[in-house]
Amino acid sequence: MGHYIANLRDIEFCLFDLLERESILGKSIYKEIDRETAMGMLEEVKRMAEKDLAASFIEGDRKGTVFNKETGDVTLPESFVKSYRTYMDNEWWRIDAPVEIGGTLIPPSIRWAIAEMVLGSNPAIHIYASGTSFSQVAYQLGTDDQKKIAKHMVDKDWGATMQLTEPDAGSDVGAGRSKAVQQSDGTWHITGTKRFITSGDSNLNENIIHFVLARPEGAGPGTKGLSLFLVPKFMFDLETGALGKRNGVYVTNVEHKMGLNVSATCEMNLGEKEPAVGYLLGDVHNGIAQMFKVIEFARMMVGTKAIATLSAGYQQALKYAKDRVQGPDLTKASDKASPRVTIINHPDVRRSLMVQKAYSEGMRALVLYTASIQDAIAIALAEKDDAKIKDLEALNDLLLPIVKGYGSEKSWVLLGTESLQTFGGSGFTQDWPLEQYVRDAKIDTLYEGTTAIQGLDFFFRKIVKDGGRAIGLLGKEIGSFCASGGELQDEKAALAKALEDVNSMMGAMVGFAMESQEKPEEIYKTGLNTTRLLMSVGEIIIAWLLLRQAEVALSKMPNAGKDSDFYTGKVAAAKFFIQTVLPHIRAELKILQSESGALMEIPESAY
């Protein structure tokens, strides 16, 4: 058995008791899958994740990648290759492939529940296997010939990368300098350097399709001037997929990182050794919009990865706290002869464990709630229900920066301050997997836009640009829940008050933004608080989802049987979160309301 312990009981509870996913199974586009089939898939992934995938987690970290500077090739440890092949050979790639070319259609909620266990056991496997997800973009947005490329990506297990970042541009994607020059045969030659490219090369796949943003000759500045090109590692026969000569896209460096070491993060050069031949996706110059299909998937994946790692850390900490004997019970501390107890009996350890439990289970619900919105989008699109699609897509867009930004930030912090801390000094050693969890999870706050960028996106794009519609609809749903009565009335009242405080935060920030039309520097007051707002809205959603879980648990307790403790834990986690976390939102409101923007007036030399 490897390091990983999946929490399938809680996944099942979220899917079928909290989110009632059984209501969409056996119907419409999901008519061929029922609860028994879905649970069979999840149980099989649990077995595979805990054993086969987790088996190479530690060695992948210790050995990392081997980079050949002469050839530009990257090699991975044999044990990791074996784990990857287990995932692919068992055909789990089918849940991401277009149905038209061999994919299996399942609800996103089931798909992301599967992903949690893969990402929790060995995240790099899911990351390297993303080539099948990229094929969706090539198939949906590509020309007829590019649909054939998508089929080769699926049939032949080709890898894929997303190439946005450049050394001088960073998160300012529109400042990218990579260029594209059209050729007489309709292809394009790409030149430039890209940095921090995940899965830039490996010995897992015979070919890799790089999705590269570049600026065609004569195109305008900024992101609007960028186009998206498919650039293969090896040229190939379009009809058969048979490989030809090497294309001019090479790894020139592999980053030495603090974690996720088996995932090759590469610097890539295009067009230096020989032409880097690319194909304009869809034969249209719409690069950023096309790439956002990949970015949205990646942000969901990163948030799920972070939350899965927190769950893994909590499971490890809980087991350790139940086994580790140290110190007397606090009520008998003065009696030197009193028996030693397991550390779960110490008040602060118990507090720490409940923090981990509440957040890991609350954020799992956040991921699967967001995925349930994606379920509804897929059904509405299939049934051409235009009235629903716009609001559902806006709600999904609103939730993604919370899943990614809030989820990654909270998971990283809690893994270090609570999960690792449960082990004391042992947590700082490689005897336990916590130190690797912490190192591996830090990247999640940086991947696909840092937490600060998620905060800016959340306020300016997902609230202001949307006119507050999606956040208003979500707030209305939470408000209705708070007013619904029942056994948790006090907790619901506390949530309602916190919701008012968050609404006041948004009102103040909109006020700052409006004042900036007359005094531009007022916008600094907004920028100083966008992350504060993102995290506060995240706390509200987690509190709401935990209380919904508690309400379901209370309804089941009379006939709970062996699940009695499970439901008791649900109620306890919700009450604990309401009591210990939500009060901080009032303080965040006071801080925001007193914002003067003074930080922006301090001279740089004063720092």
Are 138 and 186 spatial neighbours (Cβ–Cβ below 8 Å)?
no
The CA–CA distances, whole Å, from 441 to 223, 423, 521, 542 equal 29, 18, 36, 20
Q: Which of 337, 309, 372 is nearest to 119 (CA)?
A: 309
What DSSP line would sit under 389-452, residue for residue?
Answer: HHHHHHHHHHHHHIIIIIHHHHHHHHIIIIIHHHTGGGGGSTTSTHHHHHHHHHGGGTTTS-HH
Strands 227-232 and 276-280: antiparallel
Are 259 and 441 spatial neighbours (Cβ–Cβ below 8 Å)?
yes
Q: Which of 43, 18, 41 is nearest to 30 (CA)?
A: 41
* Residue showing tokens 């460096």: 253
The CA–CA distances, whole Å, from 274 to 246, 248, 249, 549, 564 equal 9, 5, 8, 58, 66
Helix (H, G, I), strand (E, B) or coil at 274: coil
Strands 179-182 and 249-254: unpaired
Instruction: Give the 3-state secondary structure percentages of the chain, helix then strand then coil, rounded to 5.
Output: 65, 10, 25
Are 407 and 306 spatial neighbours (Cβ–Cβ below 8 Å)?
yes
Please name every residue paired with 276 in a beta bridge, in sequence order, or none if there are none: 190
Give the Cβ contact number of residue 107 at 10 Å.
Answer: 23
159-41-541-462 Cα dihedral, nearest 10 degrees: 30
DSSP state of 589: H
DSSP state of 217: T
- Whole-number Å distance between alpha carbons of 581 and 358: 10
- Whole-number Å distance between alpha carbons of 39 and 52: 19
Structure tokens at 593: 């309301």
Q: Which of 295, 512, 539, 545 is nearest to 397 (CA)?
A: 295
- Whole-number Å distance between alpha carbons of 168 and 164: 12
The CA–CA distances, whole Å, from 521 to 141, 512, 524, 525, 591 equal 41, 9, 6, 8, 19
Structure tokens at 216: 């065609």
- Whole-number Å distance between alpha carbons of 335 and 327: 11
- Whole-number Å distance between alpha carbons of 307 and 326: 30
The CA-to-CA distance between both ends of the chain, in Å, stands at 50
Are 178 and 269 spatial neighbours (Cβ–Cβ below 8 Å)?
no
Q: Which helix (H) or strand (E) holds 82?
A: helix 78-89
Catalytic residues: 448
- Residue 89: which residues within 8 A CB-CB, separation 6 or more? none
Helix (H, G, I), strand (E, B) or coil at 198: strand
